[in-house]
Amino acid sequence: MANETELAPKTVTKPKVERPKLYKVLLHNDDYTPREFVVLVLKVVFRMGPEASQRVMMTAHKMGSCVVVVCTKDIAETKVSEAMDLAKEAGLPLMFTAEPEE
Ligand code: TYC
């Protein structure tokens, strides 16, 4: 005869998985960077398609800034420095920043 006694664990541990804090990458408008250069950076660094990069560039142009992507702190900071490096190399004042999402 099989033993039907259920062996229940004395304690049940709830898995505590911390969600990583998310950061948004912002694109800032300026008066000097050509629109085509902004679109190029969005395509190359953020792997955005032609329509999305055009839309994000135009939003920053009209509103002053635009969220490009929301991701982990690590990725956000890497993307910002890659984008800023391209701008610096080209001698343009184009600005990207990363900040924690509320
Ligand atoms: N305002 C720039 C121009 O008129 C274009 C531009 C758009 C620059 C978006 C930065 O984030 C930016 N040439």
**pTM attached to this predicted model:** 0.85
- 20-29 pLDDT, tens digit per residue, is 899 999 999 9
Please give the residue range of the domain that contains residue 56. 22-100
Query: Once rounded to an integer, what is the mean pLDDT over residues 30-46?
Result: 98
Residue 68 resides in a domain = yes
- Tell which atom from ligand 1 comes closest to the C-alpha of 32: 13
Please tell me the distance between residue 100's alpha carbon and the centre of ligand 1 in angstroms: 24
How many structural domains is the chain composed of? 1
Residue 57 resides in a domain = yes
Query: Domain with 39 in it: what CATH number?
Result: 3.30.1390.10
Please tell me the distance between residue 15's alpha carbon and the centre of ligand 1 in angstroms: 47
Higher-confidence position of 77 and 15: 77
Residue 40 resides in a domain = yes
Residue 65 resides in a domain = yes
Q: Which of 82, 81, 97 is nearest to 23 (CA)?
A: 97
What dihedral angle (degrees, nearest 10) is formed by the CA atoms of 58, 62, 68, 74? 130
Residue 59, judged by CB atoms within 10 A of its CB (0-12, 13-18, 19+), counts as middle
Measured distance CA(59)–CA(1) in Å, rounded = 73
